[in-house]
Amino acid sequence: MSAPPLRALPVGELRQRSSTKWRRYPENVLPLFVAETDYALAPEITRVLTRAVELGDTGYTPPHPGVAEAFSAFSARRFGWEVDPTAVRWTGDVMMGVVEILRRVIAPGDGVIVMPPVYPPFFDTVEEAAGVPVRVPLTRHEAGWAVDLDGVETALAAGARAVLLCSPHNPTGTVHPRAVLEALADIAERHGATVISDEIHAPLTYDRDAFTPFLAAGEGARRVGYAVTSASKTFNLAGLKCAVMVAGGPAQGEVLQSLPWEVEWRTGLFGALANVAAYAPESDAWLDSLLAALTESRALLGGLLAEHLPRARWLPPEAGFLAWVDVSDYGWGEDPASLIVREADVALHHGPYFGTEGAGHVRINFACGPEVLTEAMARIGALARS
């Protein structure tokens, strides 16, 4: 039996939140920009955090908060991926984990491949680690987006030392096929390079069988790779600060063990508690209901785009709740989101932030109630007709 879809909280209640999504803009603006969701927390997370507040359990994160074991069990259950808990360390968020690994596997000035259009902090993270971003854009074809394996090979042959993979990809929602991941691992191994895979959107893959964790894509991937992920995107926990770093093999495990103890201390206690609760079997039904809600919302967005922005071009994402939409035919300039928030009171994410490939694009967060999405698209449609 399919899970019943979650229902978003009422907008009046959501506006009482103090997070970025609801405080960045005035109340006349509908916020569909940052990747926060509009649903109540999974009951197990609410229970655990409520009890912690009742106990005054707000001290330091313990040396063994149970995150590794919970993540291992979740990965086996949801992805069929067996993860040794001893290969897992934790930190404050995914980008913290990425930058700390990069600092260990590259030298200052080394090139790190990024694949735009891509999550904007990828560029900043590489620079924070003293690396130089090397752009190898995704290729676009009729069926979707794909890793440019030839471009990766060329960049590694020219001296790049690492690949920063977004899997599933943000903002396109692409789920990279296993064969592509295997080929990427082979290329990296030939050139003695490292692959770091950001898999924060993985639990939100609509066809669960389609997603392959990078480290489950064969021995080659395990020899060159790391995965960094968190329950934060799926379960709306970004403010609580907890992510995991997973080593592909013994050499990568040594790298993770060599990280300063402060890397783990950056993990918030509430983040650890919430991630353990999110990864628990008790939260599986909630996750299934979230996916059902997002499936409905994705379909609704498709219909609304056809109605209000018929010249827009997009491909429904294979994972996540973010839609990458090309509205360049409307003549709204390189950064349409700036015009849309100013003239239509709808906040979308700025396409150019994701790289030059984002000119004329917007990213739309559809993890909201149907009435919010409908009103937002009607406002943008009115702007298009004006």
DSSP state for residue 3 in the 8-state scheme: P
Spatial distance between the Cα atoms of 202 and 98, rounded to a whole number of angstroms: 17
| Maximum distance among all Cα pairs of the chain, rounded to whole angstroms | 61
Band (1; pLDDT cuts 50, 70, 90): low
**Domain end call among 263, 282, 301:** 282
- 115 and 127 inside one domain: yes
Do residues 34 and 128 share a domain? no
Q: Is the peptide bond before 133 cis (omega within 30 degrees of 0)?
A: no
Specify whether the CB–CB gap between 233 and 200 falls below 8 A.
yes
In this structure, what token pair is assigned to residue 164?
Answer: 């920063």
Q: Tell me, what DSSP letter sits at residue 145?
A: E
Measured between alpha carbons, how far is 171 from 128 in angstroms, rounded to an integer? 22
Please report whether residue 356 resides in a domain.
Answer: yes
Average pLDDT, the chain: 97
In a domain, 4, yes or no: no
* Residue 207: burial class (beta carbons within 10 Å; 0-12, 13-18, 19+): exposed
- Residue 341 counted as domain residue: yes
User: Is the residue at 120 inside a domain?
Assistant: yes
Residue 183 lies in a domain: yes
Q: What is the mean pLDDT of residues 190-217?
A: 97
**30 and 52 share one domain:** no
Do 268 and 307 reside in the same domain of the chain? no
Do 229 and 350 lie in one domain? The reply is no
* 233 occurs within a structural domain: yes
Containing domain of residue 308, as a range? 11-39+284-385
Domain assignment present for residue 168? The answer is yes
Q: Are residues 20 and 51 in the same domain?
A: no
Pair 363, 300 in one domain:
yes
Segment 15-35, tens digit of pLDDT: 999 999 999 999 999 999 999
Cβ–Cβ < 8 Å for 44, 328: no
Amino acid at 383: L
> Average of pLDDT values for 310-321?
98
Instruction: Assess whether 188 and 311 both reside in one domain.
Output: no
Residue 213: its pLDDT value, please? 98
- Indicate whether 173 and 255 sit together in one domain: yes
Q: What is the CATH classification number for the domain harbouring 65?
A: 3.40.640.10
Q: What percent of the chain has pLDDT over 70?
A: 100
From CA 283, how far away is CA 234, in angstroms rounded? 11
d(CA 59, CA 370): 40
Please state, in angstroms and rounded to a whole number, the distance separating the CA atoms of residues 198 and 116.
14
**pLDDT tens for residues 290-299?**
999 999 999 9
Per the domain annotation, does 332 fall within a domain? yes
Q: List, in sequence order, every beta strand (DSSP E) within 57-131.
A: 88-91, 111-114
pTM confidence score: 0.97
Could you tell me the CATH number of the domain that includes residue 337?
3.90.1150.10
Q: Quote the pLDDT of residue 2.
A: 81
43-55 and 269-279 helices cross at what angle (nearest 10)?
Answer: 150
Round to whole Å and give the CA distance between 257 and 250.
Answer: 10
Q: Are 132 and 126 in contact (CB under 8 A)?
A: yes
pLDDT-derived band at 143 (thresholds 50, 70, 90) equals confident
Residue carrying the six token digits 């379960």:
235
User: Do 190 and 75 lie in a common domain?
Assistant: yes
The answer on pLDDT for 94 being more than 80 is: yes
Please say which residue of 250, 282, 314 terminates a domain. Answer: 282
Integer-rounded Cα Rg, in Å, for the chain is: 20
Based on the domain organization, do 145 and 292 belong to the same domain? Answer: no
pLDDT at 317 (0 to 100) = 98
Q: Which residue has the tokens 């069990």?
A: 73
Residue with the bigger pLDDT between 91 and 2: it is 91
Residues 253 and 302 placed together within one structural domain of the fold: no
For 223-258, write each residue's pLDDT tens digit: 999 999 999 999 999 999 999 999 999 999 999 999
Written in H, E and C, the secondary structure of 13-72 is: HHCCCCCHHHHCCCCCCEECCCCCCCCCCCHHHHHHHHHHHHHCCCCCCCCCCCHHHHHH
Per-residue pLDDT at 141: 86
pLDDT, tens digit (0-9, with 9 covering 90-100), for 341-382: 999 999 999 999 999 999 999 999 999 999 999 999 999 999
Total tally of structural domains belonging to the chain: 2
What's the whole-number mean pLDDT along residues 85-111? 98
Rounded CA separation 163/196 (Å): 6
Could you say which of 239, 264, 282 is where a domain stops? 282
